Amino acid sequence: MNRRRLELAEAVEHFVADGDCVWLGNFGAQLFAVGRELVRQGRRDLHVVISSGGLLLDQLLAAGAVAEVTFCHCWNPVGPRPTPAFRSAWQDGHDVRWHELSFAMIVAALGAGAAGVPFAPVLVSPDVGYREWSPEDLTDVVTPFGSATIVRALSPDVAFVHADRVGEHGDAALSTPLGEALLAVQAARRTVVVAEELVGGSPAHAQIPGALVDAVVHAPGAVAPDGAPGRYGRDVEAYEAYGLA
């Protein structure tokens, strides 16, 4: 049976409601097309989970779509330079709940969500400030097997995954880096794959089985002005111009 095919606007309308927890992947591939559609449809009070926030998270913050965010960082990697909406929201105390975690912690949190357990053990160096920045997510426990620091599980309402190729049954082959995409799909209640190319049958080296996919969107160029390996490069001029106008 063919996996459900939708236009991007239909997918956002059908799968995302105000207040939802939305994972926007993948690490190193910013799904700008999804972000623009969330803004166009006026979504509000979202909990955005995005490991490498960058310009996409900054644009969502600027549009007022975000009430809560779980992230590793948010900056413009070209320059590098700060992202203005993020910087303003963080420094000026805008009404946003911040959950700043390392990439390993987000992976562990999604892994716990995928496994259906409430938390996962993580290593937290005493030299970093994650406990101070994200006290709602990290705590210490004592068990008969020893003490550990744990991170709260993450189970997004919907995961939007960028894929290089998707087959007729929803099997998806992702370009590198894979990052936390597979765990996000396993942890999420619903999954939408946004594909550069549709192919017959199943694509070679598929990492995501179609059984985990609720809908497929064919959207070439979905991560532009970011780049997709083997498809198109990052628009460095657009990144350089961002925030300077």
Identity of residue 226: D
pLDDT > 60? residue 245: no
pLDDT > 50? residue 1: no
pLDDT > 60? residue 2: no
pLDDT value of residue 24: 95
Residue 29 DSSP code: -
Mean pLDDT over the full length of the chain: 93
Q: Which two tokens stand for residue 170?
A: 């929803």
Q: Which two tokens stand for residue 128?
A: 């970093």
Q: Which two tokens stand for residue 121?
A: 């053990």
Cα–Cα distance between 19 and 147 in angstroms, integer?
Answer: 35
**Up-side HSE of residue 60: CA atoms within 13 Å toward CB?**
31
pLDDT > 80? residue 229: yes
3-state class of 26 per DSSP? Answer: coil
3-state class of 194 per DSSP? Answer: strand
Q: Residue 219 — pLDDT band, cuts 50, 70, 90?
A: very high
Q: Against a cut of 0.85, is the pTM above it?
A: yes
Cα–Cα distance between 73 and 53 in angstroms, integer?
Answer: 6
- Report which of residues 245 and 145 the model is more confident about: 145
| Cβ(211)–Cβ(185) below 8 Å | no
pLDDT tens track for 57-110: 999 999 999 999 999 999 999 988 899 999 999 888 778 999 999 999 999 999
pLDDT tens track for 165-174: 999 999 999 9
pLDDT > 50? residue 147: yes
pLDDT value of residue 29: 82
- Domains in the chain (CATH in brackets) are 8-118+154-241 (3.40.1080.10)
pLDDT tens track for 5-40: 999 999 999 999 999 999 998 887 899 999 999 999
Q: Which two tokens stand for residue 149?
A: 């620091």
Closest by Cα among 125, 103, 127 to 53: 103
pLDDT value of residue 3: 67
Taking the CA atoms of residue 28, residue 32, residue 38 and residue 39 in that order, the dihedral angle to the nearest 10 degrees is 130
CB contact burial 83-103 (16+ within 10 A = b; e otherwise): bbbbbebbeeeeeeebbbbbe
Ramachandran bin of 139, using left for φ above 0, alpha for ψ from -120 to 50, beta for the remaining angles: beta
Q: Which two tokens stand for residue 222?
A: 């979905």
Q: Is the dihedral of CA 217, 74, 67, 50 positive or negative?
A: positive
